[in-house]
Amino acid sequence: MTWSGRVAAIFNAPAEGAATQAVEQVRAIPGRGLEGDRNFRHAPGPTHKNPDDELTLFSLEALAEANREHGLSLRPGDTRRNVATEGVPLNDLAGREFTLGGVRVRGLELCEPCLHLSELLDEPRVLRALVHRGGLRAQILSEGTFRIGDSIAPATD
């Protein structure tokens, strides 16, 4: 698999249901998530959630396609995912490792849209629009900071 893309935007939501906030960079910590995000765990341990809430990504190309096909005007922060990507085949990365700048991650599963997102946006069409293009859940494998503009590429062993 040959491709390369970039981090186009980064978002955190400080609390459940809070609006997302765009940030220039973020620190990723394995087993804990992204600092400043609602899903960040302050300490690993028995309360550790599944790794699939550590990091979520979505494609700007898929968002543009969903908007065009369904007459929507969703903005990148509306998806409630952490990282907006450009040039990245997210649907092909479940089960694969890749890097965000110097941070290594593993794609886990597609991040399908949910009723909660539809309710927060007060837009029922969002569910149909984002099916199979709602993004990717990923597990953080190495600690580090990534920034807007950093490359996203397949991990090399």
The pLDDT tens digits of the residues spanning 38-65 come to 889 876 654 456 677 899 999 999 999 9
Mean pLDDT estimate for the chain: 88
Question: What pTM value is reported for the model?
Answer: 0.89
pLDDT at 4: 85
Q: Tell how far CA 145 is from the center of its chain.
A: 15
Domain ranges within the chain, ordered by starting residue? 5-154
pLDDT digits (tens, 9 = 90+) for 69-115: 888 888 888 888 899 999 999 999 999 999 999 999 999 999 887 76
**CATH of region 5-154, choose from 3.30.110.70, 3.30.2010.10, 2.40.33.20, 3.40.190.10:** 2.40.33.20
What average pLDDT score do residues 114-120 get?
70
Helix/strand/coil for 134:
coil
What are the CA-CA distances from residue 62 to residues 28, 84, 102, 147 (Å)? 24, 10, 25, 21
Neighbours of 24 (CB within 10 A): 9
